Structure 1
Amino acid sequence: MTGAARATPQPIFAAEGFAKRFGETEVLKAAAVQARPGRVTVLLGRNGSGKSTLLRCALGLLRTETGSVLWRGRATLRPRISRMAPEGLFFVPDRGLAVPPQRVGPHFDSLRAAYPGVRKLEDWDPLNVAPFLGARIRQLSTGERRRVELTLALLRNPACLIADEPLTGLAPNYRSVVTRALRDAAQGGSAVLITGHEVECLMAIADEVVWIVAGGTRVLGPPEQAWAHPEFARQYLGRRRPLANPWGGSEPGLPGRESDRGEEGDGQGEAGRRVSGWVARAGRVWLPLAGSAAAVWFAVRVSVAMVGAAAGVSSSFEMRSSLPLVALCVLLTGIDHRRRGAARWFDNLGMGRGARVLIWGLTCLALEFLATAAAALLP
């Protein structure tokens, strides 16, 4: 293996040949981007150039005309965040990762339950979000909400971190903390792929710059080559000139990152840790999903009972259409789940749409069975 091959690791995540059209407008045509372990890749482009669209297409959030994704050496035409998240991917969208009606604290509890090896907030709080733990996400300002979402991503310490506009809404002092943390994550072996318009901040930590223009992408190489690229400088940078790396070419690591990818043994056996992990996941991830379905089922059941009482129909009417009613409850739960903006968060916890529908359906079926059994026992 040559020295150049050793210096450039194989990508853990690669999106190739993506095209996307919105009506008559062609946003992407043969766009591509990669994320390599130990490197920070910055995707730059004007507003509306397709940066977010490319990421969403590559993560399966938007349907595309063409394109494929290579994840950990496996090619797929139908990528899903929920399938890649348990294997080390974490996606921070430009908005809407945290669930607005939910409090901040349960987000960290759910992350810990889904991935037991993550760092605890009480051990490392780089963006000072501990004061927000009791507040609901919708009560926070845009900058505070962004700090919570980025802290979740940094505590996860994923093998591949994809963040869309991570610095938007942050005060300058927190921008410097985030950029240093992203650089440090790459030094620890993570593949970091980010977008944004804060050129000086992002270029200071970048290993590779990709420019998206006219629906396609151009790999400009390291920042010094990107700054010197005449077309990039004229069309995107304008009269900007490169700034010196604020860390003098060496980015000091943040404390304790060596332990992020695992925990020291605490005397508990492997079987015990596995059982406790499943219990935590059930309580913090599965139970909230089941609870939302149970609330919808109860509301539907009460409505059916009221309609039956108003029409003078016997109580047996209430138990007659169990399966259609379960399907209705699952549909309404999905609509409520989407309304609350919870899909992206549960995707990152490894709970895809199919798993969520399964939990909702089983919950409603169990409640239907219990209600039917109780009605049969009552006089």
Structure 2
Amino acid sequence: MKRFGETEVLKAASVHVRPGQVTVLLGRNGSGKSTLVRCALGLEAAQNGSVIWRGDATLNPRLARMAREGLFFLPDRGLAVPRQRVETHLETLRAAFPRSEPPPNQDPLDVAPFVRSRIWQLSGGERRRVELTLALLRDPVCLIADEPLAGLSPDHQSRTARALREAARRGAAVLVTGHEVELLLAVADEVVWIVAGGTRVLGSSEQAWEHPEFVGQYLGRRRPRDSPLSAAASAPAPVAASLARHAPVGVPQRGAAWLRRAVRVPLPVAASVAVIWVMLRVVLAALRGAVPLPEEGGATGSVLVGEVSLPLVAVCVFLAWIDQRRRGEASWLANLGIGPRGALLLWAGTCLSLEILAVVTSAWLR
């Protein structure tokens, strides 16, 4: 159940996503498709309900934890970081989730021409193609895509639909929302209709086209046209094989993979908060006038002078949170396995470590 104020959006809604299948969630605008998905990922707090992920039920789902275990969430917008280059996203994704077997098509949506561009320089459709490419190259165990076809040209819509079908064939559990009925139903193994705060499982695409209420209330009595895609599902790859693609074998390979992930994922986050800490220390030194400390009897002051300041650490963490929101990094980091709690610990740990290092260095210089 999910309410926004007095408005009850979801009453008794659920959706099951199975390995090797594409599940399509359809419904009118405002029916609660995105809300249901976000509640399942812990991005929205539901009044009640639980999530079953890989056989385990939880009342407190966390996108970052599920992302580390093979899930990728493609929101309807705002996945890619505007100030970063496309190639930076691709390199970070490869470092964060190394695998022994890459996907068959490394560039399914033709993003190579603008791979050196920054995200903010791209049009809406180009940005969406980049985000879809990131989702597909992740080669996830479970892919949840909220309106992935919106804003794309017909050709790229067809390519994306085929790529989603291919992801399921490789063993992924795929959940897709949207309003591009012909394309989505052409690749669907199961259709779920969300209406009046609840969900109805309509079955296969053929059964959905024949469902009288679904046709009358949602499709508007349309009939399917000839689709460029085949609705026949390919035989899915074994789930065990899908899981095995995401981990290097052997201690040296795991060590190298850990190092690449550390350099590409948490280190940039720590570097950004370190810059904030240095700026705060410079401002603090300027306010103090860099005067000698009384207890040191005339010792020369500097930026790295003083005891550990917990208020300064708190201010540093707060500014890092504001900076993350300004950069638009939260969704991308969550899909890399760093959620709000992880980011908070990383910020606080970095600021506190720098404070301790400053005190130790100051004492040694004296």
TM-score scaled to structure 1, two decimals?
Answer: 0.87
Distance 1:33 1:263 in 2: 26
Say yes or no: does 1:105 pair with 2:92.
no
Q: Find 1:62's aligned residue among 44, 54, 62.
A: 44
Superposition deviation, residue 214 in structure 1: 1.0
- The amino acid that maps onto 1:338 is R
**Residue 262 of structure 2 corresponds to residue 282 of structure 1:** yes
Is the deviation greater in 87-96 or in 318-327?
318-327
2:329 aligned residue (342, 355, 358): 342
Where does 1:294-313 land on structure 2 (aligned, <5 Å)? 294-309=274-289
Residue 32 of structure 1 deviates from its aligned partner by 0.7
Residues 1:327 and 2:327 aligned together: no
Q: Is contact 1:117-1:261 (8 Å) kept?
A: no
- Please state how far the C-alpha of 1:138 moved relative to its aligned partner: 1.3
3-state DSSP of counterpart to 2:199 = strand
Q: Which residue of 1 aligns with 2:298?
A: none
User: Alpha carbons of 1:171 and 1:191: their partners in 2 closer, same or farther (altered >3 Å)?
Assistant: same
In 2, distance between residues paired with 1:239 and 1:91? 32
How has the CA–CA distance of structure 1 residues 217 and 286 changed in structure 2, closer, same or farther, with 3 Å as cutoff? same
Letter of the 1:240 counterpart: R
Distance in 2 (CA, whole Å) between partners of 1:273 and 1:150 is: 28
Structure with the bigger percentage of strand: 1
Q: Report the Cα distance in structure 2 between the residues aligned to 1:240 and 1:269, rounded to whole angstroms.
A: 52
Deviation at 1:373, TM superposition (A): 2.7
* Structure 1 SS opposite 2:14: strand
Are 1:117 and 1:260, in contact at CA under 8 Å, matched by a contact in 2?
A: no
Question: The residue matched to 2:155 in structure 1 has which SS?
Answer: helix
**CA separation of 1:184 and 1:33: change in aligned 2, threshold 3 A:** same
Q: How many residues align?
A: 354
How does 1:257-276 map onto structure 2 within 5 Å? 270-276=250-256
Counterpart Cα distance in 2 of 1:365 and 1:248: 57
Residue in 1 aligned with 2:150?
168
Asked if the contact 1:118/1:156 (under 8 Å) is kept, the reply is no
Q: Which sections of structure 2, spanning at least 5 residues, go unmatched? A: 236-240, 294-300
Amino acid at match of 2:207: Q
Letter of the 2:33 partner, please give it: K
Does residue 209 in structure 1 map to residue 191 in structure 2?
yes
CA shift in 2, pair 1:264/1:90, >3 Å: closer
TM-score, normalised relative to structure 2: 0.90
* Ranges in structure 1 where 5+ consecutive residues have no aligned partner: 1-18, 254-258
Q: How does 1:20-31 map to 2 (within 5 A)?
A: 20-31=2-13
Matches within 5 A, 1:21-60: 21-60=3-42
Given that 1:51 and 1:212 are in contact with CA atoms closer than 8 Å, whether structure 2 keeps it comes out as yes
1:297 counterpart letter in structure 2: W
How many angstroms does 1:347 deviate by? 1.1
Measured in 2, the distance between the counterparts of 1:284 and 1:290 equals 11
SS in 2 for 1:200: helix
In the other structure, the counterpart of 1:11 is none
Whichever residue aligns with residue 53 of structure 1, its letter is: T
What is the SS of the residue equivalent to 1:297? helix
CA apart distance, 1:302 = 1.4
CA distance in 1, matches of 2:142, 2:352: 38
Is the contact between residue 119 and residue 156 of structure 1 (CA under 8 Å) also seen in structure 2?
no
Q: Is residue 96–residue 265 contact of structure 2 (8 Å, CA) maintained in 1?
A: yes
Query: Partner of 2:184: helix, strand, or coil?
Result: helix
Deviation at 1:375, TM superposition (A): 2.7
The CA deviation string for residues 42-97 of structure 1, in whole angstroms up to 9 with x for no partner, is 00011111110110011000111011000011000000111111221110000111
The 5-angstrom pairing of residues 14-163 of structure 1 reads 19-117=1-99, 124-163=106-145
Q: Tell me by how many angstroms 1:221 deviates.
A: 0.8
Identity of matched residues, %: 60
Deviations 1:322-348 (A, max 9, x none): 222112211211221122221111111
| C-alpha contact (below 8 Å) 2:141/2:242 kept by paired residues | no
Q: How does 1:195-274 map to 2 (within 5 A)?
A: 195-250=177-232, 270-274=250-254
